[in-house]
């Protein structure tokens, strides 16, 4: 791609180019946190996009995560695509995905070479066990943060419990659980409207400008 004297990049305004750079850099920092899968990086994505840069509200982030979970592909890359598109259209999605996948690609190559060299070392096996435990903590934190925004009344609590029991006690495909949850949500909303009950799709008193509460991190 060529930068012209006028400041445009492939015909894009300079402000858009700067926004693309911020998206790329943000998700370039998020990428190395993807150990354990996309859900493990959700707390980092939320911290960057909701708390630090305030691109999205907490409720919007929860909705994006729900959509990213239902779409084909990795949830982390899907989330990056949704956020990037929300901020700067198609080029924003491209910049976010490039930033997300580039460090992961490099790290996987390096780890593969290191594993082939030192895979029989007891210290390497012990380190991997520690990584597994840390990934579980990250996934639990992502679930907790999403639950704060998504569970706010009796209906959402019942749907959450029912979905969890279905996943634990049966071999049902998670995709069907998501579809069932969507159908129940539509039925509940329509039922409330039919009976004249107030419909709410988010927790009352939810913060509109969350602050950065956790310590800063460096990657």
Interval 43-77: pLDDT, tens: 888 888 888 888 988 888 888 887 887 777 788 88
Full-model pTM: 0.56
Beta-bridge partner residues of 12: 9
Residue 9 pLDDT > 70:
no
Residue 10 pLDDT > 60:
no
Res 2: pLDDT: 36
Measured CA to CA, the distance from residue 76 to residue 38 in angstroms comes to 4
Measured CA to CA, the distance from residue 149 to residue 183 in angstroms comes to 19
- Return the percentage of the chain with pLDDT > 90, whole number: 19
pLDDT tier, 121 (very low <50, low <70, confident <90, very high otherwise): confident
DSSP notation for 176-216: HHHHHHHHHHHHHHHHHHHTTPPP-SS-TT--SS----SPP
The whole-chain average pLDDT of the chain stands at: 79
């Amino acid at each position: 791609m060529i930068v012209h004297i006028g400041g445009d990049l492939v015909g894009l305004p300079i402000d858009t180019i700067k926004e693309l750079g911020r998206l790329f850099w943000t998700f370039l920092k998020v990428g190395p946190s993807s150990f354990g899968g996309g859900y493990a990086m959700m707390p980092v994505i939320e911290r960057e996009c909701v708390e630090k840069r305030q691109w999205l509200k907490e409720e919007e982030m929860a909705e994006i995560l729900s959509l990213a979970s239902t779409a084909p592909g990795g949830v982390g890359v899907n989330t990056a695509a949704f956020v990037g598109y929300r901020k700067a259209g198609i080029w924003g999605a491209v910049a976010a995905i490039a930033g997300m996948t580039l460090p992961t690609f490099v790290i996987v190559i390096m780890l593969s070479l290191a594993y082939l060299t030192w895979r029989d070392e007891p210290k390497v096996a012990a380190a991997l066990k520690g990584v597994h435990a840390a990934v579980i903590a990250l996934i639990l934190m992502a679930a907790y943060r999403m639950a704060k925004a998504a569970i706010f009344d009796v209906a959402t609590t019942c749907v959450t419990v029912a979905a969890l029991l279905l996943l634990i006690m049966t071999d049902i495909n998670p995709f069907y659980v998501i579809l069932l949850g969507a159908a129940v949500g539509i039925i509940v909303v329509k039922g409330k409207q039919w009976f004249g009950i107030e419909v709410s799709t988010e927790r009352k008193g939810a913060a509109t400008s969350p602050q950065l509460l956790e310590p800063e991190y460096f990657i």
